[in-house]
Amino acid sequence: MPELPEIETIRRDLEQQVVGDTITGIELLWPGAVAFPEVPPLGDLVAGQRIAAARRRGKYLILDLAGGGRLVLHLRMTGRLHLVERGVPRGPHLRAICFLASGRELRFMDQRRFGRLGWVPDEAALAGLLCDLGPEPLAAGFTLEVFRQRLAGRRGALKPLLLNQQFLAGLGNIYADEALFRARLPPLRTAGSLSPEEQARLYAGIRAALEQGIRNRGTTLRDYQDAWGARGLNQEQLLVFRRDGRPCPVCGRLIVRLRVGGRSTHLCPRCQPLPA
């Protein structure tokens, strides 16, 4: 599933490539991909609209339209968004096409069909849609002090907390495991029990794991591709995720995989000792 670095990679490509271009129409090959609104048709709302900005919030991609509306996209598990020239043969699992005045097409593919696109009329409606999301971990306003305040009093384990989009927006299974390893913290540690030094390590670990992912244009384990249909490079640089049975890059002990909160979790038992 694409996480913050993967969506940010797509966003940066789109910002360079499609901002300033105009949407001429939308073809829905699977209308179920449109989560909202039901009426009027999405194509009528966006046709003729210039794309004014490409933004990201958590794992959501947002295209601001000059007329005030916003196109919102969530790729979920297997969604892909490709920017192609018109005439490129259509591949499988194509759910929607956004035609651009430049002659190019934004194509939304999604094998598992969990991904969704939608439209909201203005910034207030967008804020309402995304109101449950926690802070952006790479935003300037997300300081160590803000992170400390959010951790205080939390009784749950760290791993599920990092996956909770209301706690922090954008992390999924890959970057949560990478952040915890960088912080030398076990996934089952109680969030509220961290010392100030451990809180600082986790804060730095989260940001470093995400920043590396963005630098490497995302992690492709199976489905993720950037807007050009290319794989990311970060899977070659992961420290623990899906590296069970291989040596820890710090101490050499074999990385193990366990289930935490129903999710596959990867860690070094020596660098991240479990609570006694």
Binding residues for Zn ion, rule: CB under 5 A, are: 248, 250-251, 253, 268, 270-271
- Bridge pairing between strands 60-65 and 70-74: antiparallel
Nearer to Zn ion, 67 or 273 (CB): 273
Known catalytic residue: 90? no
186: helix, strand or coil: coil
Taking the least distance from each CB to Zn ion, the nearer of 13 and 178 is 178
Supply angle C-alpha 123, 57, 265, rounded to 5. 155
Cα-only R_g, the chain: 20
Is 123 part of the annotated catalytic residue set? no
Shortest Cβ 255–Zn ion spacing (Å): 8
Is 2 known to be catalytic?
yes
Least separation, in Å, of the C-beta of 163 and Zn ion? 22
Tell me, yes or no, if 159 is annotated catalytic.
no
CB 60, CB 130: distance < 8 Å: yes
Q: Which is nearer to Zn ion, 67 or 247 (CB)?
A: 247
CA 127/CA 154 separation, integer angstroms: 26
- The active-site residue, picked from 11, 56, 59, 189, is 59
Least distance in angstroms from the C-beta of 45 to Zn ion:
52
Token pair listed for 92:
């499988």
**Which residue number, 33 or 268, has a Cβ lying nearer to Zn ion?**
268
Rounded to a whole number of angstroms, the minimum distance from the CB of residue 182 to Zn ion is 11
Out of 184, 198, 263, 269, the active site residue is 263
- Two tokens at 47? 């046709």
**Cβ neighbours of residue 266 under 8 Å, at least 6 residues apart?**
177, 181, 240, 241, 242, 243, 244, 255, 256, 257
Active site residues: 2-3, 59, 263
